[in-house]
Amino acid sequence: ADSLTGGYTSWLLTKKKIDSLGALKLNISDTLFTNGYTTRVRDRWGLDSLGALKLNLSDSLFANGYTTRVRDRWGLDSLGALKLNISDTVSMLSKKWSITGNSGLDSTINFLGTTENQPLQFRVGAASTWAGELNPLSSNTSFGLGAGQLLSGNTNNTAFGVGSMNNTDPNGFDNTAVGQGALQNNFSGDNNTAIGQGALKNSSGINNTAVGQATLNLTTRDNNTAIGRAALESANGGDDNTAVGYKAGRNFGATLDDTKQAINITNSVMLGSNTRTLANNSQNEIVIGYDAVGNGSNTVQLGNSSITEVKTNGSINAKGAILGYRTTSSDITLTQNDYYIKAITGGITITLPTPVGKAGQRYVIVNVSAVPITIVPTTSFEALGTGFIGSLNSDSVLIIFSDDAKWVLENKVI
């Protein structure tokens, strides 16, 4: 009304108060702030030095049994809207999100998030540090301190872990990074997958897959796959490589030297811990086996120097073969790695290994000296033609093979 009638002498504005605990109260008596209450609610609100709205609770007004604080009167209604409860009960407290957990929620109406097509960001600490974002506009998802913080111009990227995809160029799309620093500095790279701390940390390539700490750490090229800690760690100048194993493809050279890091290898495969190419710029080199070293571009290496035998149940079809060659001027015992043996000094003895378990093993023994040499079998020979009596004359050739039980004389040329 324009005036107070019926004996009412106080405006409602002057009837609202807060008690000493900050609870909002309404004085419904006919007198104005009886019992010494003189401060109105509106006089309790103000701006601090930074412009923030504050409620003054400094004195002991409204202490007559009022126990509910203003902050305990705030809550969420059934639609999630923030409301102030001015009743004597605090039933709306059950609608707020509690730091000790909630109950009685309905997932169809209760949720954390936004109700408009805008990103939901996570921030922590006094400095409100970026901790991730769910962005419906770009389809980017990130979680972790600094994760995906600069993904504003990119789409369809996923970053989980502190600093993952933290410094991504606006031209990077469809990347996945999981782990601290994974794909951290992704400059224009697309379709990359990095799992592990520092995996693909400094990348501008496309279609790369890195699984393991520091894998493909420096690559700027495309279509590489590395699985295992530090696999292809330094390869930043080659495409279409595959490396599986601890430090597979990280180094090059005949001996393992961490200062010799393979940078420019292409179209190569390294399977096994510490497998490496022979040179830094190898192409189409395949190396298989623990600590195995390749033989250069366009070669295949099976196993390291400790491997003595390669077996298969099938046939080997090759356009050519390089077999073992040895010259000798002293007594020797042959091994599975020998094939062509040339005796350049007479009077020596060549001892054959057991033929058992070596079916198909073949030796060609040539005596180019002027004095006969002695061949010592571990089992008797099968006589062919005139047989063999254990001596090979000057300028003569002996060809034998194993039938898995004994050495068989294939030919003897005198």
**Which pLDDT does position 68 carry in this prediction?**
45
pLDDT at residue 321, rounded to an integer = 80
> DSSP string spanning 245-310?
STTTTTBBSSS--TTSB--S-BS-EEESTT-BBSSTT-BS-EEESTT-B--STT-EEES-TT----
Question: Hey, which residues does 130 pair with through a beta bridge?
Answer: 123
List pLDDT tens digits, range 183-218: 988 888 899 999 999 999 888 889 999 999 999 987
pLDDT at 133: 93
pLDDT of residue 233: 92
Whether the Cβ atoms of residue 96 and residue 72 lie closer than 8 Å to each other: no
Computed on alpha carbons and rounded to an integer, the radius of gyration of the chain in Å comes to 42
Q: Is residue 363 scored above 80 in pLDDT?
A: yes
> Where does the pLDDT of residue 308 fall: very low under 50, low under 70, confident under 90, or very high at 90 and above?
confident
In sequence order, which residues have a C-beta less than 8 Å from that of residue 310 and are 6 or more positions away?
302, 303
Q: What is the pLDDT of residues 56-99, one digit of tens each?
A: 554 433 333 434 444 555 566 666 666 665 554 444 444 567 78
CA distance 287 to 262: 14
Cβ(372)–Cβ(392) below 8 Å? yes
Least confident of 116-130, 267-281, 297-311, 376-390: 376-390
The two three-digit tokens of residue 50, written as one number: 């930074």
Q: Taking the chain, what is the end-to-end CA distance rounded to the nearest angstrom?
A: 137
Residue 38 has pLDDT above 60, yes or no: no
Residues 6+ apart with CB under 8 A from 217: 198, 199, 200, 201, 202, 230, 233, 234
Judged against a pLDDT cut of 50, whether residue 125 lies above it is answered with yes
Query: Please, is 368 exposed, middle or buried when counting C-beta atoms within 10 Å of its C-beta (0-12, 13-18, 19+)?
Result: middle
- Please answer whether residues 203 and 188 qualify as being in contact, where contact means their C-beta atoms are separated by less than 8 angstroms: no
Picking from 14-28, 122-136, 144-158, which range would have the lowest pLDDT averaged per residue? 14-28
3-state secondary structure at position 41:
helix
Would you say 402 and 412 are in contact if contact means Cβ atoms under 8 Å apart?
Answer: no
Convert the pLDDT of each residue in 270-289 to its tens digit.
Answer: 999 999 999 999 999 999 99
The residues that bridge with 400 in the sheet, in sequence order, are 363, 409
| Helices marked H in 40-85 | none
Q: Which two tokens stand for residue 202?
A: 């400094």
pLDDT(121) > 60 = yes
pTM score of the predicted model: 0.65
Q: Residue 110 — pLDDT band, cuts 50, 70, 90? A: confident
The DSSP-derived string for 164-178 is TTTT--TT--S-EEE
Q: How far apart are CA 226 and CA 208, in angstroms?
A: 8
Cβ-Cβ contacts under 8 Å for 135 (sequence gap 6 or more): 119, 141, 151
Residue 28 CA to residue 42 CA, distance in Å, equals 17
> Looking at residue 266, what is its pLDDT?
94
Find out whether 84 and 24 touch, Cβ atoms under 8 Å: yes
Nearest residue to 176 via CA among 152, 146, 209: 209
pLDDT tier at 7 (50, 70, 90 boundaries)? very low
Length of the chain, in residues: 414
* 397 C-beta neighbours (distance < 10 Å), count: 14
Which pLDDT band, with edges at 50, 70 and 90, does 349 fall under? Answer: very high
Dihedral sign computed on CA atoms, order 170, 138, 181, 247? negative
The four Cα atoms 375, 379, 380, 381 give a dihedral, to 10 degrees, of -70
What average pLDDT does range 316-334 have in this prediction?
Answer: 89
Res 73: pLDDT: 53
Look at residue 235 in the predicted model and tell me its pLDDT.
84
* Per-residue model confidence (pLDDT) at position 410: 81
Q: What is the pLDDT of residue 226?
A: 96
For residue 317, is pLDDT > 80?
yes
